[in-house]
Amino acid sequence: MQIVSCAVIERDGKILIARRKSGDQMAGKWEFPGGTIEPGETPEQCLKRELLEELGVEIGIDEFICSSTWKYDHATIKLLAFKATLLSGELILHDHAEISWVSPRELDDYDFPEADVPIIRHITSAQHGT
């Protein structure tokens, strides 16, 4: 099983999402930025490293949101989602085709991998107070 952590970063009521570039697994799909946890690394350390490498920003980890596990044809993924805050840096695309800031209700309009869907449900239900 591949363990991956991702960041749900909110700014001015919008959430940062990133689209995978062509040539990647699940190219063209949208995701919450993050990556695979390396041996000896905590999920939080992974997120800080991945966002610095992929987007050129430093983040603070606020809290754990939820986890999701999905079996794809190429791997089983356990996705750990954390609420995070941008601390410094300018968003630069090193590893994605594009990024977008979207409202929680707009998340359903984007094509996400199946492992991300429970995270979207958590975000949208939290917005509605359910």
In the predicted model, what is the mean pLDDT of the chain?
93
Taking only the tens place, the pLDDT of each residue in 90-130 is 999 988 999 999 999 999 999 999 999 999 999 988 766 54
CATH topology of domain 2-127: Nucleoside Triphosphate Pyrophosphohydrolase (3.90.79)
In angstroms, the Cα distances linking 52 to 7, 61, 104, 113, 119 are 12, 13, 24, 22, 22
pLDDT for res 120: 96
Domain boundaries of the chain, sorted by first residue:
2-127
Q: Whole-prediction pTM value?
A: 0.92
Mean pLDDT for the stretch of residues 1-6: 96
Taking only the tens place, the pLDDT of each residue in 46-90 is 999 999 999 999 999 999 999 999 999 888 999 999 999 999 999
